Structure 1
Amino acid sequence: MMIKRILAPVLALALVLSACQAKPGERAEGGQLTIGVGGQPLLVYLPTTLAQRLGYYEAEGLKVTLEDLQGGSKALQALQGGSVDVVSGYYDHTIQMAAKDREVRSFVTMLRYPSLVLAVSPKASKPINSIADLAGANVGVTAPGSSTDFFLKYLLDKEGLPSDSATVQAVGGDSSAVAAMEQGRVDAAVMLDPAFSLLQQRAGADKVKILTDTRTAEGVQEDFGVSTYPAAVLYSTGQWLENNGDNARKLAKAIVRTLEWIDQHSAEEIAAEMPEEYAQGNREVYVDAIGKVKDAYSKDGTIQPDGAEAVRSVLAQFIPEVERADVDVSGTYSNDYLPEKAG
């Protein structure tokens, strides 16, 4: 009886706390929500942080917490587990989830070019002059199952090689990736800025061989055969979007406003608004990297149907689940949450 009297209040408190915790997909009361970012210092996700720094979330009545999860696959896992409401990640994952019959949808696009660079380490263990030479090599990606991993598999498949012909190693996306390339712990890596530009600066641009570069329209056309290829987006579950339409529209408006601000300001001005530590002690390289990726940012937040279909087609080439599922891409994104265009 004594044990029961002691445990009863504890169990009651546990039930109260459990009832107070938000369940995945529930309405974000008071505009409070958490965005999981697949590597916050990476320039591909810059608009997510910049919108907060400029006060645009707050201007929409939102109280946004950004959680750096250091990889797109980890951010997706957090969404599935309910620890974040929205993900700032790559559009690839909405199609990956659709193939599993799980409704995940992007609602504002931040990046119209993937901005992934496949480069060779200055200390590669063997000569690598082409993608075909990656067979048997150790290649770095941010994390297994991330968009950098998907990109590597696609390029290998496009070359006629098995998608697992290179050994994949997780190296992260920032200073850890630079160190892995500098020290020769990987023979090559799929990198993002500012890490790639920092590697070039430290090792010497002529010492870092580029196999392919999707920071430009030309690189996207060469690799994917389309003019735009949706990359970094905000996405969430269908249930969350159904219960949080107003919050999604406010988020989309804040991001589009940020994209417009980026378009109207210089790389130097953009860098000045970002956290100082994101420059990793080299502001000149950071500004230069922003300048190189600036044109890759979307102008209006929209996804084009042919770009979305191109992503599905790419994933279907090396993910049997996507190939078998016959995914309808129209269910993986929506432009309906974007602010109406004036005029």
Structure 2
Amino acid sequence: MTMERPIIPSRLRGERVTLAHGGGGKAMRDLIEEIFTGVFQPPGTEDQARLTAQALAEPGAQLAFTTDSFVVSPPVFPGGDIGKIAVCGTINDLAVGGAKPLWMSAAFIIEEGCEFELLRRIVASMQAEAEKAGVRIVTGDTKVVGRGAADKVFVTTSGVGVIPPGRDLQAGNIRPGDVALVNGVLGDHGATILAARGDMALSTDIQSDCQSLNALVEAVLHAAPNARAARDATRGGLASALNEMAETAGVAIEIDEIALPLRPEVKGVCEVLGLDPLYLANEGTLVVFVPEAEAEAALHAMRDTEAGRGAARIGLAKPGPAGRVTMRTAFGGQRLVDTLVGEQLPRIC
């Protein structure tokens, strides 16, 4: 016989956040305890989290720290929501530097009138993704602003991880002859957000690729211990990530249009709207450079992970000119893949 969990009545009155929930009194305490700390279960009630990890004691280990803000519109979309993106984005920023993510903070700017149910969904997504990635959300903050001063909810997350001794993933390590690999299809997140906004009357089954990549990075580093660098292709897409890496490394990069993993639906959306899929945002896609001798092992390791089923070899680093990214087109020509000027689609993360 199974025991049903007792139903605990909500202390929150009504269905929406009011300015009183940011005033520091009982209403604010009820909001924080019922929506946030009741789910995240941070260690202690002080104004700071006190953390220890055995990994920090290893000689040569480095602490990695990152922070990011998320303002995606709409806050809920096919494949995820602003909470899932906030956790995945921060975890991925640590992972592509070789760090093992351990802890996160989460701060919320909430607009008066935001629905409690939306907050509950966002927080549940954050906790589920953090648990899946083996990360703890250990501290945070909430602020409430008046109507029109925000758009329902904005989230700021910071992440702390440990880079084990001997790891050195950074773009400056890329050498001519290194192979560029991606872990899956490109542009799904950007296309999903565009369709979800409803401005273009687009009908599509595309879902965001939003996912944490730390397990995939660990698999790649196990299979290819001399991997050079990795970068998650978020705002500005694959093209911007490659340009940043080429400039830092002082190499040229050439990619192959035929090798790029793109869904027909994403290609179709881009053709209709005049967008370039190379610049569409991703929230669960990275590009990694590895030596030629380790490329096949890295590719197989990626494909053995949940986040890397669609992994592909897409190009090479070349001697020069430094910082130049080109694409060999399906027709055999060459096309310059320059840095994005402005933004194709704002508020995608």
What is the TM-score normalised by the length of structure 2? 0.22
Higher strand share: 2
Q: Which has the higher contact order (CA 8 A, sep 6+)?
A: 1
What is the TM-score normalised by the length of structure 1? 0.23
Higher helix share: 1
